[in-house]
Amino acid sequence: MKTPPVTYEFGAHKGKAALLQVHPVNQAALLRLVETLQLKSYSRNTINTYRNEFTQLLQVLKDKNVDELDAERLRSYFLYCTNQLKLSENTLHSRINAVKFYFEQVLKREKLFFEIPRPKKPSILPKVINAQDIKRLFEATTNLKHNTMLKLCYGMGLRVSEIVNLKITDIDSKNMQVFIERAKGKKDRYVNLPESILLQLRNYYLAYKPKKYLFEGQYGDQYSIRSAQKVFTDALRKAKINKKVGIHGLRHSFATHLLEAGTDISFIQELLGHNDLKTTLRYTHVSKQTIKNIQSPLDKL
């Protein structure tokens, strides 16, 4: 049996590599999964995640046809993932989602997964950097491009994918707003451009002269997410901030510091682009200011 052609538009190299990792009997199933995700307009990250997680199941099956699995066999597989592979709750959720998508959305077996329980996800609080450390972080970052990038991440509460996707045309300096296009969940939103960054932003534009994207790589292409993450980790090291946190911590800090300043939680939700207020309410658990305002009943006696 010949290897089916990789028909999906992006990630062709990775997609072909994934195909070669599974037995020919299941290669068509992997392609159908990816194509269905594409037709439903799932994001690139989701397609890559589902493809990779589904590939793990196909590798275990070897020459057994995945379409012949029943609920009991799938339940045994997820027990194997839990007890033998020791997968984390989040990874196990992703794997179940990928396999569930194939059987329910591709094969149309909607009732197959009723008998498979899901692990309870851990309640993980956002990691926040205090304002003094963020100031040190900026002072230690002397490169104009890197400094501007980090300041915009914090000053507008952006995800790393959003900062590298920013286009010059997205910035409206007259209205002091920035358009965030098709962010997580394919949701557009506007955020406020900090007044303190305006002069630096103009100086950056004159110095680097970006063509399309606000932050471009060495050869004029779009700045990569990995490079932006490295900019942040290098800044942490230079500022001697001994904290295990990624660049997403700037977004968490933006939300927490707004909350501590008395900003309404619904406004923070809109600025962050959260669909569910519960996601935004996590920041009330890490905000020291809100906890400090709670008076002990002892003091009222």
For 164-210, the pLDDT digits (tens) are 999 999 999 999 999 998 777 678 899 999 999 999 999 999 999 99
Known catalytic residue at 189: no
- Whether the CB-CB separation of 181 and 171 falls below 8 Å is answered with no
In this structure, the answer to whether residues 110 and 228 fall within a common structural domain is no
Residue 292's pLDDT band, with cuts at 50, 70 and 90, is low
Known catalytic residue at 240: no
Domain final position from 55, 85, 115: 115
Known catalytic residue at 219: no
In this structure, the answer to whether residues 274 and 135 fall within a common structural domain is yes
Known catalytic residue at 32: no
Pairing of strands 171-172, 189-192: unpaired
This prediction's pTM: 0.68
In this structure, the answer to whether residues 90 and 147 fall within a common structural domain is no
In this structure, the answer to whether residues 110 and 135 fall within a common structural domain is no
- Whether the CB-CB separation of 181 and 165 falls below 8 Å is answered with yes
Looking at residue 168, the DSSP 8-state letter turns out to be: G
Q: Which of 51, 136, 159, 257 is catalytic?
A: 159
Total number of domains constituting the chain = 2
Q: For residue 21, is it within any domain?
A: yes
In this structure, the answer to whether residues 45 and 101 fall within a common structural domain is yes
Q: For residue 4, is it within any domain?
A: no
Looking at residue 213, the DSSP 8-state letter turns out to be: B
Taking the C-alpha atoms of residue 17 and residue 36, their distance in angstroms, rounded to an integer, is 19
Domain final position from 115, 145, 160: 115
- Whether the CB-CB separation of 252 and 153 falls below 8 Å is answered with no
Tokens standing for 275?
Answer: 């669909």
In this structure, the answer to whether residues 185 and 273 fall within a common structural domain is yes
Q: For residue 276, is it within any domain?
A: yes
Known catalytic residue at 274: yes
The CB density around residue 137, as the number of other CB atoms within 10 Å, is 21
The model's pLDDT over 111-142, given as tens digits with 9 standing for 90+, comes to: 766 566 666 766 667 788 999 999 999 999 99
Q: For residue 125, is it within any domain?
A: no
Element (H, E) at 171: strand 171-172
The CB density around residue 220, as the number of other CB atoms within 10 Å, is 10
In this structure, the answer to whether residues 48 and 81 fall within a common structural domain is yes
Q: For residue 123, is it within any domain?
A: no
Q: What is the extent of the structural domain holding 107?
A: 12-115
Q: For residue 36, is it within any domain?
A: yes
Q: For residue 124, is it within any domain?
A: no
